């Protein structure tokens, strides 16, 4: 969703901010803007559409420092030039960019109008600019003015502010929406996502909720909303700039699908403990006796994270024999859930920022539950809100549609399930069997990726239809859901996921020659039952693409993609890989905007 980049230092901030904004494009946005403060005041430019549209609209000679920029994903007000950030206050002194949502915006607007200030846009952000302008009448210092303004604001924000009267400063604040500072040599950076600035510096400081920072070329100072000074320690981020580049690829989604063997290696790295036939997970912060005491596991996440949680729940039930379920975090938080005192709660999120998942964790923590995270983004809001957890270390994921983080999350769940199992009743022999299978996953994923030509051909066939049915059973069911979602997200094809056995209770009526069926059919204990379903589909002229193992009978499906065998519990991890490529190639055949699907955002930081 929205993104922030800022620069203050001795170089020209404009290209740095523009390039940073392009790094944030993947988060999803519909307009962008930039402001520079100089001796002649503020210069502000905005454009609907892509950052390239903003670049095209900029005067050739614009340059300077400090500069701030923003990519906006519309919430309050349509995606127009007018509503794009930065917003300037009534006095023309302050320019503000903002991520998040101000909940008392209607009340603030009313007060401002009563004070004779007529907002020019429909945004909540412009209101913050005016509040800062009003506060500056009494407090000339921009930090004090921002602090005073924020006392009147309810909601979530990550903010960066330029002050025309101090054209060597940026003031930033954070409450519920990430802000990271980057330290350079006589220069400072700020961003909502470290990926936007990692090219320039890897020395960073994460602001905490309720903190304000003043950035000047020579350094920064931090304080709280109630004016207490805070000492911050910088850290070195372990990220390569290359990970944010397309390299030889046309799309991040394809690049990231291809990175899965290495991503899974990283997820497994240092965690397979052959000596005790178990998995070592250093970040759980729970003693074995505590882990034994949980009677149920509840997994929460949104989108692909939720579906990976469904696979996680199955793995935990199968391997640790603890009842486990997954639920959409967005539903959970609003149904006033009963908190199970004997339950272990697990929040899943690639970004660690998803608002609904974060709110679910906060609700759980407030009610005293134990919450672990399965998260990609180290140090993210959800990671910090948990009691501990497992980082998946998949590396940065830029494509909106998740691929490597989905796979690595499933691998992390498999490891957690073995760990929980081994302190309960999973035998050492089963521990060894699964450890070996986990170790072999990267090579098997690589082997699946080699079948790309056959998968591409199947995708081009699928792309001819308006609608498709994805079916699976038990282990294959979350995979069918994830695959249907992926086809919707990137190919904009209508796709419905159904449990194979449920088909005959309704959707079988849809099956005909124009409704292709993609069936996830592992050679497991349910294979025979699945085959019966496929016969029922065939009998109704349904066309089938089967994803299964080499034992799959050739005449049962028009097309078959065969994945290597692993241990049955881990089958879903491999069965999903061809389905990622299927969605990618269907989207390619249909000429979709694959990395930036319409209406979607990578990190959904609003409810």
Q: Which residues are catalytic?
A: 2, 602
CB-based contact 305:349 (threshold 8 Å): yes
Structure tokens at 33: 């803007």
Query: Could you say whether residue 408 binds ligand G6P (CB under 6 A)?
Result: no
**What gap in Å lies between CA 547 and CA 561, rounded to an integer?**
5
Backbone phi and psi for residue 438, each to the nearest 5 degrees, phi listed first? -65, -45
Backbone phi and psi for residue 17, each to the nearest 5 degrees, phi listed first? -70, -45
Query: Could you say whether residue 560 binds ligand G6P (CB under 6 A)?
Result: no
CB of 513 to ligand G6P, least distance (A): 32
CB-based contact 262:579 (threshold 8 Å): no
* C-beta of 350 vs 530, nearer to ligand G6P: 350
* C-beta of 83 vs 409, nearer to ligand G6P: 409
Q: How is 297-311 classified by DSSP, letter by letter?
A: EEEEESTHHHHHHHH
Query: Could you say whether residue 380 binds ligand G6P (CB under 6 A)?
Result: no
**Binder among 386, 387, 402, 580 for ligand G6P (CB under 6 A):** 402
Piece in contact with ligand G6P (CB under 6 A), picked from 185-193, 285-293, 346-354, 557-565: 346-354
480 Cβ contact list (under 8 Å, min separation 6) = 470, 471, 472, 497, 498, 499, 518, 520
* C-beta of 23 vs 422, nearer to ligand G6P: 23
CB of 604 to ligand G6P, least distance (A): 5
* C-beta of 119 vs 309, nearer to ligand G6P: 309
Query: Could you say whether residue 401 binds ligand G6P (CB under 6 A)?
Result: yes
CB of 360 to ligand G6P, least distance (A): 11
Give the dihedral sign, CA 97/100/106/108. negative
Intra-chain end-to-end CA distance of the chain, in Å = 12
Piece in contact with ligand G6P (CB under 6 A), picked from 316-324, 347-355, 387-395, 537-545: 347-355
**What gap in Å lies between CA 15 and CA 584, rounded to an integer?**
32
Binding to ligand G6P in span 275-304, by CB under 6 A: 302-304
DSSP structure class, residue 104: T
CB of 28 to ligand G6P, least distance (A): 8
CB-based contact 137:10 (threshold 8 Å): no
Nearest to 154 by CA among 175, 180, 177, 126: 175
Piece in contact with ligand G6P (CB under 6 A), picked from 226-234, 400-408, 449-457, 558-566: 400-408
CB of 290 to ligand G6P, least distance (A): 26
CB-based contact 204:194 (threshold 8 Å): yes
Query: Could you say whether residue 604 binds ligand G6P (CB under 6 A)?
Result: yes
**What gap in Å lies between CA 154 and CA 133, rounded to an integer?**
18
Q: How is 123-186 classified by DSSP, letter by letter?
A: -SHHHHHHHHHHHHHH--SHHHHHHHHHTT--B-EEEEEEETTSTT-EEEEEEBS--EEEE-SS
Binding to ligand G6P in span 90-119, by CB under 6 A: none
Piece in contact with ligand G6P (CB under 6 A), picked from 162-170, 221-229, 349-357, 496-504: 349-357
Query: Could you say whether residue 349 binds ligand G6P (CB under 6 A)?
Result: yes
**What gap in Å lies between CA 215 and CA 238, rounded to an integer?**
23
**Binder among 99, 357, 387, 403 for ligand G6P (CB under 6 A):** 357
CB-based contact 30:68 (threshold 8 Å): no
CB-based contact 495:507 (threshold 8 Å): no
Binding to ligand G6P in span 49-68, by CB under 6 A: none
**Binder among 149, 264, 305, 441 for ligand G6P (CB under 6 A):** 305
Query: Inter-axis angle of helices 571-589 and 404-422, to 10 degrees?
Result: 170
Residues facing 9 on adjacent strands:
187
* C-beta of 189 vs 391, nearer to ligand G6P: 391
As a 3-state breakdown, the chain gives helix, strand, coil percent values, each rounded to 5, of 40, 25, 35
**Binder among 314, 351, 386, 580 for ligand G6P (CB under 6 A):** 351
**What gap in Å lies between CA 189 and CA 196, rounded to an integer?**
10
Q: Give the interface size with ligand G6P as a residue count (CB under 6 A).
A: 16
* C-beta of 468 vs 604, nearer to ligand G6P: 604
**Binder among 191, 400, 414, 479 for ligand G6P (CB under 6 A):** 400
CB of 469 to ligand G6P, least distance (A): 22
CB of 369 to ligand G6P, least distance (A): 19
The contact mask relative to ligand G6P for 571-600 (x = CB under 6 A, - = no) is: -----------------------------x
* C-beta of 35 vs 374, nearer to ligand G6P: 374
* C-beta of 69 vs 396, nearer to ligand G6P: 396
**Binder among 177, 267, 350, 533 for ligand G6P (CB under 6 A):** 350
* C-beta of 156 vs 515, nearer to ligand G6P: 156
* C-beta of 549 vs 602, nearer to ligand G6P: 602
Query: Could you say whether residue 410 binds ligand G6P (CB under 6 A)?
Result: no
Backbone phi and psi for residue 164, each to the nearest 5 degrees, phi listed first? -60, -25
Q: How many helices (H) and strands (E) does the chain have?
A: 18, 27
CB of 358 to ligand G6P, least distance (A): 9
CA-angle at 353, arms to 349 and 354, nearest 5°:
70
**What gap in Å lies between CA 203 and CA 315, rounded to an integer?**
38
**What gap in Å lies between CA 390 and CA 598, rounded to an integer?**
32
* C-beta of 197 vs 401, nearer to ligand G6P: 401
Residue nearest to ligand G6P (CB): 303
**Binder among 354, 500, 530, 543 for ligand G6P (CB under 6 A):** 354
Residues in the chain: 607
| Binding positions for ligand G6P, rule: CB under 6 A | 302-305, 349-351, 354, 357, 400-402, 600, 602-604
């Amino acid at each position: 969703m929205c993104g922030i980049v800022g620069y203050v230092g001795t170089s020209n901030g404009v290209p740095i901010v523009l390039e940073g904004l392009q790094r944030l494009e993947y988060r999803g946005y519909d307009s962008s803007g930039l402001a520079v403060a100089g001796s002649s005041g503020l210069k502000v430019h905005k454009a609907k559409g892509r950052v390239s549209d903003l670049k095209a609209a900029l005067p050739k000679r614009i340059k300077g420092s400090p500069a701030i920029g923003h990519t906006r994903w519309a919430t309050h007000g349509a995606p127009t030039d007018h509503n794009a950030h930065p917003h300037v206050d009534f006095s023309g002194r302050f320019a503000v960019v903002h991520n998040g949502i101000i909940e008392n915006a209607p009340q603030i607007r009313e007060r401002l109008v009563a004070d004779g200030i007529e907002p020019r846009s429909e945004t909540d952000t412009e209101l913050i600019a005016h509040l800062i302008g009003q506060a500056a009448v009494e407090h000339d210092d921009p930090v004090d003015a921002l602090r005073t303004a924020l006392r009147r604001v309810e909601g979530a924000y990550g903010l960066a502010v330029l002050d025309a009267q101090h054209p060597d400063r940026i003031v930033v604040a954070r409450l519920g929406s990430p802000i990271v500072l980057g330290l350079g040599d006589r220069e400072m950076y700020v961003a909502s996502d470290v990926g936007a600035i990692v090219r320039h510096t890897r020395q960073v400081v994460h602001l905490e909720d309720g903190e304000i920072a003043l950035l000047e070329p020579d350094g920064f100072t931090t304080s709280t909303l109630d004016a207490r000074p805070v000492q911050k320690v910088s850290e070195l981020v372990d990220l390569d700039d290359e990970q944010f580049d397309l390299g030889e690829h046309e799309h991040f989604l394809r690049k990231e699908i291809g990175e899965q063997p290495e991503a899974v290696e990283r997820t497994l790295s240092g965690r397979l403990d052959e000596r005790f036939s178990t998995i070592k997970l250093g970040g759980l912060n729970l003693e074995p006796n505590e882990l034994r005491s949980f009677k149920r596991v509840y997994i929460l996440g949104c989108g692909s994270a939720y579906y990976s949680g469904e696979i996680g729940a199955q793995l935990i039930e199968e391997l640790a024999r603890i009842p486990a379920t997954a639920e959409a975090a967005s539903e959970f938080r609003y149904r006033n859930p009963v908190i199970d005192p004997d339950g272990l709660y697990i929040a899943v999120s690639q970004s660690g920022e998803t608002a609904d998942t974060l709110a679910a964790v906060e609700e759980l923590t407030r009610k005293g539950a134990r919450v672990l995270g399965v998260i990609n983004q180290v140090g993210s809001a959800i990671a910090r809100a948990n009691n501990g957890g497992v980082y998946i270390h998949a590396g940065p994921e830029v494509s909106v549609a998740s691929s490597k983080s989905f796979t690595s999350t499933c691998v992390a769940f498999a490891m957690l399930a073995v760990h929980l199992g081994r302190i309960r009743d999973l035998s050492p022999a089963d521990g060894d069997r699964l450890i070996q299978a986990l170790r072999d996953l990267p090579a098997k994923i690589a082997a699946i990726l080699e079948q790309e030509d056959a998968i591409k051909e199947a995708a081009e066939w699928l792309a001819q239809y308006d609608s498709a049915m994805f079916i699976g059973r038990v282990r294959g069911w979350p995979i069918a859901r994830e695959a249907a979602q992926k086809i919707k997200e990137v190919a904009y094809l209508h796709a419905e996921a159904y449990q194979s056995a449920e088909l005959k209770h309704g959707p079988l009526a849809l099956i005909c020659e124009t409704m292709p069926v993609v069936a996830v059919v592992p050679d497991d204990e349910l294979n025979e039952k699945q085959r019966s379903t496929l016969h029922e589909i065939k009998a109704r002229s349904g066309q089938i693409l089967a994803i299964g193992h080499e034992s799959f009978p050739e005449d049962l499906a028009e097309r078959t993609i065969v994945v290597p065998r692993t241990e049955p519990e881990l089958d879903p991890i491999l069965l999903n890989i061809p389905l990622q490529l299927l969605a990618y190639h269907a989207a390619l055949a249909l000429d979709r905007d694959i990395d930036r699907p319409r209406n979607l955002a990578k990190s959904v930081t609003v409810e």
